[in-house]
Amino acid sequence: MHINTVNTQPYNDQKPGTSGLRKKVAVFQQPNYLENYIQATFDCMGDYAGQPIVVGGDGRFYNRPAIQVIIKIAAANGCRQLLIGHNGLLSTPAVSHLIRKHQAFGGFILSASHNPGGPDKDFGIKFNIASGSAAPEQLTDAIFARTKKIDHYFYASFDDIDLNNIQHLQIDNLTISIINTVTDYAQLMTEIFDFKLLKEVIKSKSLSLCFDAMHAVTGPYAQHILESVLGAPSGSVINAIPLEDFGGCHPDPNLTQTRRLTALMFSENAPVFGAASDGDGDRNLILGNNFYVTPSDSLAIMAANAQLIPGYHQGLSGVARSMPTSQAVDRVAQYLEIPCYETPTGWKFFGNLLDAKKITLCGEESFGSSSDHVREKDGLWAVLFWLNLIARKNKSVKEIVYEHWHKFGRNIYSRHDYEALDLILATTVFKQLRDKLSTLPNKEINGYVISDTDEFTYHDPIDGSHSKNQGLRIRFKDGSRIVYRLSGTGTVGATLRIYIERFTQDATQFDTDPQIALAPLIAIAEKLCEIKKKTGLTKPDVIT
């Protein structure tokens, strides 16, 4: 192959966020924009020559062209082996698993997760390291620094690789393997869950289900595992074909975006179990017959019942949650007498705890949960966990949740998202709230007395690193709390997320709608930051 040295100029906006670099497709299509970022990553990766590198994405628009760029830059930089998903598809948890299984140096994941896809929508790229975890801040900071100085990249000249056929190719010293998308991941799931039991209950029709793949990457995985292997009726997986624009839908597995699934699950003909996953397959929505399980409750219930799952029958070493996630799992950890860690939002913060074997399960309120089987959140894993739990307990989703609440109490919880806000306005609102935090303790608002406030800083117990400015916390003397965060997962403006939580052991409140039960705290949240007043908005864009 011929290696070209291509002169380039740096861009100043290539700083990765908690989930890599996310921009509009048009930004990535600028001359040398993607090439600069890939070369900067190779410049900072270290000695990768003798180990495989995994490449795959969620199939969104620009996925295939980006893979061809990665292949040619990898070849030009001396990479010797690439493992690429069939049709360019690999879910994020599948990439993590492949890295670990094949002892790869790392992997490129092409995705903007739950963000919309299409020519005028979003694209993203991130690099995962040899443990299967997303790159730590030390590496992403180094990559960003390199992008600001880069003046050339290396590019190999050969025809584009056919991604449509499973095959092995040799180009000089580079081996390229186009591999089956689902086989390795499906095998891993059989090692964790009781597939024999699941086949029996599905065959008996006592466990009916509907899984919404949202025209995203989990479609092939879900059809293979749920329908082909476990025997769910054909059509149990809906929106199963991955599309570059996700069928014009927003692949975020929440009650707002999964309208077809939600309508079914809250109808008279609802199956026993419903679920969805997002663009790259790492998030999950869990539903029962006319019942919604919050991600925070889902994590707590999985932790409380993990011993019923074959892969976790020996117990848990510990659990972890992101700071804004409800404290429901904390109560389970206290009962089980195991550690519970509170981390910033961003899955990479769980990586050190998992590698050090401090935790077995982890999750965050933004529809993500997983375990030590990979180093990413895993949507289909959570679905199989719940299916296994339903089959083992022989109870409905609602019965399982209420059983949990009667034992541990209910953390009534909700998240309000104000999306695509003007960046300056959102930043100003956030700064004004931060500036008055110290004046709030001991104040009474709507009958709630504020006990303390702070801006969350995380001290990593494994590597000693510190992560500051991770969200504003307002706690009340009855244990309730409000959390504010500016989210970095979007590509336009800013998203302000407000998390509201209070605890009750009063069983008469178990049926209460969270928006009603939390109404006084929701009013306090608005009074403190005045986001509606300052934007003119009448309600959040998304409520979960």
Per-residue pLDDT of the chain (544 residues; tens, 9 = 90+): 899 999 999 999 999 987 899 999 999 999 999 999 999 999 999 889 889 999 999 999 999 999 999 999 999 999 999 999 999 999 999 999 999 999 999 999 999 999 999 999 999 999 999 999 999 888 999 999 999 999 999 999 999 999 999 999 999 999 999 999 999 999 999 999 999 999 999 999 999 999 999 999 999 999 999 999 999 999 999 999 999 999 999 999 998 899 999 999 999 999 999 999 999 999 999 999 999 999 999 999 999 999 999 999 999 999 999 999 999 999 999 999 999 999 999 888 999 999 999 999 999 999 999 999 999 999 999 999 999 999 999 999 999 999 999 999 999 999 999 998 999 999 999 999 999 999 999 999 999 999 999 999 999 999 898 889 999 999 999 999 999 999 855 556 799 999 999 999 999 999 999 999 999 999 999 999 999 999 999 999 889 8
Domain edges within the chain: 2-181, 185-408, 410-543
Q: For 268-287, give the DSSP string.
A: TT--SEEEEE-TTS--EEEE
Q: What is residue 489's predicted lDDT score, i.e. its pLDDT?
A: 56
Q: What is residue 492's predicted lDDT score, i.e. its pLDDT?
A: 65
CATH architecture assigned to 2-181:
3-Layer(aba) Sandwich (3.40)
What is the CATH number assigned to the segment(s) 410-543? 3.30.310.50
Comparing 2-181 with 410-543, is the CATH topology the same? Answer: no
Count of other CB atoms within 10 angstroms of residue 159: 7
Distances (CA, A) of 518 to 52, 297, 324, 480: 50, 16, 16, 10
> Hey, what are 228's tokens?
């082909």
Indicate if the alpha-carbon torsion angle 201, 202, 207, 213 is positive or negative: positive
Domain 185-408: CATH class, spelled out: alpha beta
User: Degrees (nearest 5) of the Cα angle 494, 414, 482?
Assistant: 75
Catalytic residues, by residue number, are 113
Q: What is residue 304's predicted lDDT score, i.e. its pLDDT?
A: 98
Q: Cα separation of 160 and 45, whole Å?
A: 24
Residues facing residue 134 across a β-bridge? 128
Q: What is residue 493's predicted lDDT score, i.e. its pLDDT?
A: 79
pTM: 0.94
Q: Quick check: 333 and 354 in contact, CB under 8 A?
A: no
Q: Quick check: 171 and 75 in contact, CB under 8 A?
A: yes
Alpha carbon distance, N-terminus to C-terminus of the chain: 52
Crossing angle of the two packed helices 183-192 and 92-101, in degrees rounded to 10: 80
Q: What is residue 490's predicted lDDT score, i.e. its pLDDT?
A: 54
Q: Cα separation of 499 and 325, whole Å?
A: 8
Burial of 234 (0-12, 13-18, 19+ CB in 10 A): exposed
DSSP 20: B
Q: What is residue 487's predicted lDDT score, i.e. its pLDDT?
A: 80
